[in-house]
Amino acid sequence: MNNLAIKAVGITKRFPGVTANDNVSFELRVGEIHVLLGENGAGKTTLMNILAGLYSKDSGEIYVWGQKVEIKSPQDALKLGIYLVPQTPKLVRSMTVLENVVIGLKKAGIILPTRKVRDLVEGLTKSYHIIVDIDAPVYRLSASEQKRIELLKALIRHARILIFDELTTSLSPSEKADLLKFMRKFARSGGAIIFVTHKMHEVFEVGDRVTVMRNGRVVGTFDVSEVTPDKLTELMFGKSIKPESIPRLTKPGDVMFRIDNLWVDLDGYKCVRGVSLDLHSGEILGLAGVAGNGQKELVETIIGIRQPSKGKIYAKLNGKFVDITDKPTIWRLKSGISYIPEDRIRQGIIPDMTVMENVILGFRFSEDAISGLLINWSKIKAQVSEIIKKYEIATPSADVLAKYLSGGNIQKLIIAREFESKPTILIAFNPTLGLDASSTRYIWEMLIEMRNKGAAILLISEDLDEILSLSDRIAVISEGEIRGIFSREEARLDDIGRLMVRAK
């Protein structure tokens, strides 16, 4: 066990109605990058949360650096050198990078970081080539820069085992390459990394070994050099998933949605700068960009959560263009505009309501289910059960609280509700974030089907593969500005990547 950083034996964890981990055993060697693969609900995140001290196991044993341990909190994990780098950084936006890095450290100053601590942080940025302005306030930084802060937080706390949960999400190709370089350097310097990902190519780009989970169990562990993508896919899903060509329409219809010279301010900072876009019926317009470049504020303004400082938004409703700039969100949703939010927990569901209750929020049922003030609950349950089956939402029943679903299944629930409302205009913000390959493919097919039936779809995604696969046209946003618009035939990955990280 001398070369093992972590050894987990027979880990079991149950939630109401769900066994998330079922007698799971897993080993992480010193100096390796161990990739963890599995479809939504496979139990990957639960296992990582147990190792990081966020969940307690029901049974099983954990050994760290050869010693049997009980990890009851993140503090316990950190004392053992384990640090979970979250997909979404947990930072104080009003504080600087340096203040976020050292907050809670005993060796930091009482009010401001000491010169010695400052020098230490600057030394880490140079040693690991982490490019970030340590004096910049967090709210001014891109998502990629914020992720670098989490790396610094781990390094200054002497973490020796890093857990990366879908960390490449929202990164440009060059930023992803920098992260992979960091991972290799950290592992080869005596550390160890668990890398959770849904992207098959990343397994072979950075992994030494790979473990596949399905239905809460480990189904195989392999040296990356001795396994193929087809084999891993079959283990993940119990079947082979063959790529298929995605049909496209050659000609879009009329303009259904228009953004005209839109400007949005946030705390005095112009985060959306003169954006103008037309969205046609029968079209998917992809908006590509590194997270933190105005997409979130643009979407919130489109849906009515935020008001612009300048510009107009128009939608074609009942054959006529309507200025919806000042219309409330509920009016827009009732008028045929649907919204798949990026933040699935805060904006997409009510966690303490059941799956059925979340599906029926704002949903139109058949007249035999709801007539006036009369509700036929048996009919509603039957329709919800059909929706759960159709969208392959993994849940023991429709009566389970939504908060007990995996992140991917929560996303499927939201998508099911919005797709079934049959919108004329759909705003989809990272619709497949956190979904496995099979679920992603299914959602892509649903988007294409909606597009082919005439829906106008604005797809905002940080996954360039998704943008290139689905979009009829592609707009690139950087620092709140549209830097270029391409037809799919004109689009090139290198050109889009350069525009995404372009500085003003």
Residues 6+ apart with CB under 8 A from 242: none
Token pair of 360, please?
């029926």
CA distance 346 to 323: 28
Using alpha carbons only, what angle is made at residue 206 by residues 203 and 208, rounded to the nearest 5 degrees? 80
Assess whether pLDDT exceeds 80 at residue 172: no
Percentage with pLDDT > 70 across the chain: 92
Taking a C-beta distance cutoff of 8 angstroms, is the pair 440, 56 a contact? no
Question: What's the rounded mean pLDDT across residues 133-152?
Answer: 87
pTM of the model: 0.67
> Is residue 186 helix, strand or coil?
helix
Domains with residue ranges and CATH for the chain? 4-237 (3.40.50.300), 253-336+425-433+454-504 (3.40.50.300), 343-422 (no CATH)
Q: How confident is the model at residue 247, as a pLDDT?
A: 60
Count of alpha carbons within 13 Å of 122, Cβ hemisphere only?
Answer: 8
pLDDT tens figures, 234-251: 888 776 555 455 566 557
Token pair of 440, please?
């992603």
Residue type, 338: S
Q: How confident is the model at residue 504, as a pLDDT?
A: 39
Q: How confident is the model at residue 170, as a pLDDT?
A: 66
Token pair of 24, please?
């799971």
Q: How confident is the model at residue 380, as a pLDDT?
A: 81
Q: Which of 270-279, 377-386, 472-481 has the lowest mean pLDDT?
A: 377-386
CA distance 343 to 88: 10
Q: Share the mean pLDDT of the chain.
A: 87
The closest of 33, 26, 32, 29 to 2, measured between CA atoms, is 29
pLDDT tens figures, 70-95: 999 999 999 999 999 987 788 898 89
pLDDT tens figures, 301-346: 999 999 999 999 999 988 889 999 999 998 998 888 999 998 888 8
CA distance 462 to 494: 15
Token pair of 451, please?
């597009």
Token pair of 103, please?
């907050």
CA distance 223 to 201: 15
Pairing state of beta strands 161-165 and 192-196? parallel
Q: How confident is the model at residue 362 (pLDDT cuts 50, 70, 90)?
A: low
CA distance 235 to 438: 12
